[in-house]
Structure 1
Amino acid sequence: MTASSTRCSRNSPADAVSRAAEVLWRRSALWGLRWVLFALLALCGQAQAANPAAIPDMRLEQTDEGLFLTAVLEFELPTLAEDALRKGIPMYFVSEAELTRRRWYWYDQHIATEVRYLRLSYQPLTRRWRLNVSSAPFDSSGLGVALGQNFDDLADVRAAMQRIVRWKIAPAAAIDPQEQYQVQLRFRLDLSQLPRPLQIGALGRSGWNLSLARSLRWSPEPTQ
């Protein structure tokens, strides 16, 4: 009698099923991760659409008196900031324009910096808004030398804050017609001016975030 034997297959049906299950699990996990990423991107897009903040228009004008900046800002007041305003807590904002001379061989050279400080307040009894604008920081001693305007509606006072008209940011003597320059405009809600409890609560909370910035390259007009 002749004995015969059959070699066992290395790829048994159980191994094939296991590999197929592993492949399906990996594909499912990959698709799940993609959907999570899509959802996060959609949420970010909705948040940006709900709170637009930009500087769509920014222009420079050179005269014998100096360099003047005109700009339009687009923003909504942060939700928590508006709530605090309606409870009688003033909010402070800072506009900053910086002029630098471009240098290809080194860091850009600082030429001038101008800052404007804004104080927005609301009187619950009269239901009126007041905007104060100053070239110096506001302190506890008072408003100092500041331009003040009253408004009946929040939309009107926000529109006034969003317009910068012929703001002198550098004297004529600081401009060299042979050089190239860059102007950076920044606007932000100054959280350091909030009452201490609000400062602590505002850290890391998107309901307080408000910050805009834009840069513009500029070449002086040739002198006659």
Structure 2
Amino acid sequence: MKNVRAEARRRRVLAPLAGLVLAWALLLTCLLPIAVAQGRVVPSVTQMRLEQADDGVYLTAAVQFELPSLVEEVLDKGIAIYFVAEAEVFQERWYWTDRKVAQVTRHMRLAYQPLTRRWRLNVSPVPITGAAGFGVSLNQNFDSLADAMDAVKRVGRLRLGDAAEIGDEPLHQVMFRFRLDTSQLPRPFQIGVVGQADWNIVAERSAKLALEKQR
């Protein structure tokens, strides 16, 4: 008899919790398609690879995200947008905090050229602002926005340093970050994008990578 009463009390306690869990599950099921439909899928880093070449150690990464229609409209008006990719390598130390042994940053400027009807991508190790930034940048031209964005998402050959600087551990702790940099937009646009989720494109990933020999 006591066991029957205990089981009844347990069911009375768990019933509301089960209902709450079911409600949350239904809510998430409804919201997920909406998020996908609005292009709000969370950006992610889908690939990271550490390679050693004759002239140093390089990181290759790939990022997956969709460019919101609002950002595309800004590009169509001739306003350039900027992306930043950053990578850091740490040496693990059991007796102290991890030591940073390498850091590299890549700046990318994407703009539409109305006269040629082509897309130009500038890539530079320093912020592309003014003549100084353009002077050290590499330029690529594309016939479509899709082709230009494919190049933006493939972050290749980020030079981290010499092999001696990185170390000879079997695995290396690497942190990679990618973001849309709104701080380089024209001042009126910087004010307008505050609080707008469409401009919040950020992806990062931390992983232990083996140093592969470049083929």
TM-score range, shorter chain: 0.7 to 0.9
Measure the CA separation in 2 of the matches of 1:172 and 1:119: 30
Say if 2:27 is the partner of 1:39.
Answer: yes
Paired residues of 2:49 and 2:209 also in contact (CA < 8 A): no
> Which of the residues 94, 104, 107 maps onto 1:104?
94
Q: Residues 85, 56 of structure 1: CA spacing in aligned structure 2 closer, same or farther, 3 A cutoff?
A: same
1:123-158 deviations in whole A, cap 9, x for unaligned? Answer: 234321110101111113361221111111111101
Partner of 2:165: 174
Measure the CA separation in 2 of the matches of 1:131 and 1:103: 40
Paired residues of 1:98 and 1:185 also in contact (CA < 8 A): yes
Partner of 2:4: none
> Which of the residues 150, 156, 168 maps onto 1:159?
150
Q: Residues 46, 144 of structure 1: CA spacing in aligned structure 2 closer, same or farther, 3 A cutoff?
A: same
> What amino acid is aligned across from residue 130 of structure 2 in structure 1?
S
Question: RMSD over aligned Cα, in angstroms?
Answer: 2.8
Q: Residues 128, 63 of structure 1: CA spacing in aligned structure 2 closer, same or farther, 3 A cutoff?
A: closer
Q: Which has the larger radius of gyration?
A: 1
Measure the CA separation in 1 of the matches of 2:22 and 2:192: 34
Q: Residues 198, 41 of structure 1: CA spacing in aligned structure 2 closer, same or farther, 3 A cutoff?
A: farther
Report the more deviating stretch, 187-196 or 171-180. 171-180
Partner of 2:105: 115
Measure the CA separation in 1 of the matches of 2:51 and 2:127: 26
> What amino acid is aligned across from residue 205 of structure 2 in structure 1?
R
Partner of 1:15: none
Identity %: 47
Partner of 2:119: 129
TM-score in terms of structure 1 length: 0.75
Say if 2:182 is the partner of 1:191.
Answer: yes
Shift of 1:37: 7.0
Q: Residues 128, 71 of structure 1: CA spacing in aligned structure 2 closer, same or farther, 3 A cutoff?
A: same
Say if 2:188 is the partner of 1:200.
Answer: no
Shift of 1:32: 9.0
Measure the CA separation in 2 of the matches of 1:87 and 1:76: 19
Paired residues of 1:100 and 1:111 also in contact (CA < 8 A): yes
- 1:112 counterpart SS class: strand
TM-score in terms of structure 2 length: 0.78
Partner of 2:203: 212
Paired residues of 1:87 and 1:124 also in contact (CA < 8 A): no
1:52-79 deviations in whole A, cap 9, x for unaligned? Answer: 4222121111244322112222112233
Shift of 1:101: 0.8
Measure the CA separation in 2 of the matches of 1:179 and 1:33: 44
Measure the CA separation in 2 of the matches of 1:166 and 1:140: 25
Question: Structure 1: which 5+ runs fail to align?
Answer: 1-26
> What amino acid is aligned across from residue 118 of structure 1 in structure 2?
M
1:181-211 deviations in whole A, cap 9, x for unaligned? Answer: 3111111110100111211121121111111
Measure the CA separation in 1 of the matches of 2:30 and 2:60: 34
| Dislocated runs of 4+, deviation >4 Å | 30-37
1:71-114 deviations in whole A, cap 9, x for unaligned? Answer: 22211223322111100100011011111111233221111110
